[in-house]
Amino acid sequence: MFKATIDADILKTAIETLSVLVDEARFRISPEGIVVRAVDPANVAMVSFDLNSSAFDEFNADDSEIGMDLSKINDIFSVAGRDEKVVMELDEMSQKMSLHLGGLSYTLALLDPSTIRAEPRIPQLELPAEVVLNGKDLQRAVKAAEKISDHMLLGIDEDVFYMEAEGDTDRVRLDMTRDSLIDLKSGEARSLFSLDYLSDIVKPASRSNEVTVELGKDFPVKIGFAIANGAGKVGYLLAPRIESD
């Protein structure tokens, strides 16, 4: 059994955190809320997504797992107005989800979860450095980098968090000291990342004014922030590009 009511806007932003990486996902539903763990097809980026039942106005669920085509959900929300509520109800017999919003009522065929790539094993990483900053700052640096390159360095030099990109001829760098950051834990950190992925990830991250970035040397980066006004969280893990000698 699954029946829930939530602000359309909250759900829409939550789904977007997944759809930037994958087209379809397995949703694990329990009385506590909804959990998704997914990896992009290239095994380069992962997302872990937790939406607590408290994010919902109404939430009644048993344990179950469903598969959904995220682009279809995005299509539905593209016509949703602000401040609208969406009511979701799962019909287990027909494996369909009905969505009611603003007088519209959709019936969405679900995907067989076993046809969707299995939940990834999440690598256990010790990341020595951590910064907390406004998502807007992260997005600004990524946008500047995109103009000149397809990859970008994230690193920490003593008390400075830097984001740097180098093109064939040009270079762009954003330095952020402790004052402009919300928090900083210094450590050895310098890794290179593909901007294809970073720009997808910062899109939803830019809506949060408190984004945690954990870093290491030639190691994946972990980018996390809260969603649904604190009633949920999203964490991305992005594998680096490795400079060979």
Residue from 31, 41, 167, 230 binding other proteins (CB under 8 A): 41
Containing 22, the helix (H) or strand (E) segment is none
Alpha helices in 41-133 (DSSP H): 70-77
Q: Measure the CA–CA gap between 108 and 77, rounded to whole angstroms.
A: 13
8 A C-beta contact, residue 135 and residue 202:
yes
- Told to check if 126 binds other proteins by CB under 8 A, we report no
Q: End-to-end CA distance of the chain: give it in Å, rounded.
A: 56
Q: Which stretch binds other proteins (CB under 8 A): 100-108, 115-123, 127-135, 228-236?
A: 115-123
Q: Using alpha carbons, list the distances in angstroms from residue 186 to 43, 156, 162, 214, 241.
A: 28, 7, 12, 10, 22
Of 4-12, 87-95, 99-107, 116-124, which segment contacts other proteins by CB under 8 A? 116-124
* 239 is an interface residue for other proteins by CB under 8 A: yes
Question: Which of residues 196, 209, 229, 230 is near other proteins by CB under 8 A?
Answer: 196
Give the whole-angstrom CA distance, residue 235 versus residue 109. Answer: 28
Nearer to other proteins, 111 or 144 (CB): 111
Antiparallel, parallel or unpaired: β 45-52 and 232-238: antiparallel
Closer Cβ to other proteins, 96 or 241, answer by number = 241
Out of 31, 60, 71, 183, which residue is the one contacting other proteins (CB under 8 A)? 71
Closer residue to other proteins (CB): 210 or 243: 243
With respect to other proteins, which residue has the nearer C-beta, 151 or 190? Answer: 151
